A = this chain, B = another copy of it.
Amino acid sequence: MDLITIIGLAAGTLTTIAFLPQMFQTWKTKSAKDVSFVMLITFMTGLFLWFIYGIILGALPIIIANGVTLFFNFIILLLKIKYR
């Protein structure tokens, strides 16, 4: 694998798993008032469009990275709605 591909994979992995600590913190503290609701909705809409973009292009890395990030943010949204 060449350096550029390794950098791209590392980038995609980090911007995806970044939302795991947010998910666990919100779940653990049962508090999400400082997390912006508008941010979550706007970010998820954008991620969904990236997901569609990946499907049209047939680009599996775009589909997986954005699909998983969308799933994590959906959980954060549910926790946000539950705990405010």
> Which residues of A are interface residues toward B (Cβ below 8 A)?
4, 7-8, 10-22, 25-26, 29, 31-36, 38-39, 42-43, 45-47, 49-50, 52-53, 56-57
Contacts and interface: CB of A to CB of B under 8 A. Distances in A.
B49 A10 contact: yes
Contact of A34 (B13, B14, B33, B42): B33
B10 A22 contact: no
Contacts of A12: 46, 50
A25 B34 contact: yes
Given A15-B46, A22-B35, 12 more contacts: A7-B49, A7-B52, A12-B46, A13-B46, A14-B49, A18-B46, A21-B42, A22-B39, A25-B38, A31-B33, A31-B34, A35-B35
